[in-house]
């Protein structure tokens, strides 16, 4: 499994907004500057995050973005699934996908189901709050 830059950058945007949250909205330009990511590239990412309710957006003067939920309510699994579409290791496990014609005799299906469960369980344990900077622990994140 390979997480795209869209997935990684979405996490970085959410972490940045959580760490720099204040009463006013934060411009995408500020976030892009701090994260050293193209503002144009981030526009598509934040649109999806807004539609999913993870971010609130305000247009015009004083506008920008802020978290749409508390950082502990935004799960890494949800962010990555939103950005990547699916995290399943094989096509036959995709929800609503076409069933494999070899399903009845597939020797590897339990392996792929197990891997999918491990990945989903692991990523659902972490929230944006968990990824926020914790200088006192010496925890630095790099995504």
For the segment 93-141, what is each residue's pLDDT rounded down to a tens digit? Answer: 888 878 788 888 999 999 999 999 999 999 999 999 999 976 655 555 5
111's CB contacts (< 8 A; 6+ apart) are: none
41 or 143, higher pLDDT: 41
pLDDT (tens digit per residue) in 17-61? 999 988 889 999 999 999 999 999 999 999 999 999 999 999 998
Report the distance separating Cα 27 and Cα 25, nearest Å. Answer: 7
Residue of 86, 99, 110 whose CA lies nearest to 1: 86
pLDDT of res. 99: 79
Report the distance separating Cα 83 and Cα 51, nearest Å. Answer: 12
Residue 3, pLDDT > 80, answer: yes
Residue of 127, 90, 114, 93 whose CA lies nearest to 11: 127
- The ranges assigned to domains in the chain are 5-86+127-135
Domain made up of 5-86+127-135: CATH architecture: Orthogonal Bundle (1.10)
């Amino acid at each position: 499994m390979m997480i795209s830059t869209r997935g990684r950058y979405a996490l970085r945007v959410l972490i940045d907004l959580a760490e720099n949250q204040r009463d006013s909205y934060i411009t995408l330009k500020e976030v892009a500057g701090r994260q050293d990511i193209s503002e144009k590239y981030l526009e598509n990412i934040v649109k999806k995050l807004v539609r999913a309710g993870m971010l609130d957006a305000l247009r015009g003067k004083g506008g920008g973005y802020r978290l749409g939920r508390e950082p502990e309510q935004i799960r890494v699994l949800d962010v990555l699934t939103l950005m990547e579409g699916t995290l399943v290791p094989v096509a036959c496990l995709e929800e609503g996908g076409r069933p494999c014609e070899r399903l009845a005799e597939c020797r590897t299906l339990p392996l792929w189901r197990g891997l999918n469960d491990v990945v989903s369980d692991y990523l659902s344990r972490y929230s944006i709050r968990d990824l926020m900077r914790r200088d006192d622990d010496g925890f630095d994140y790099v995504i």
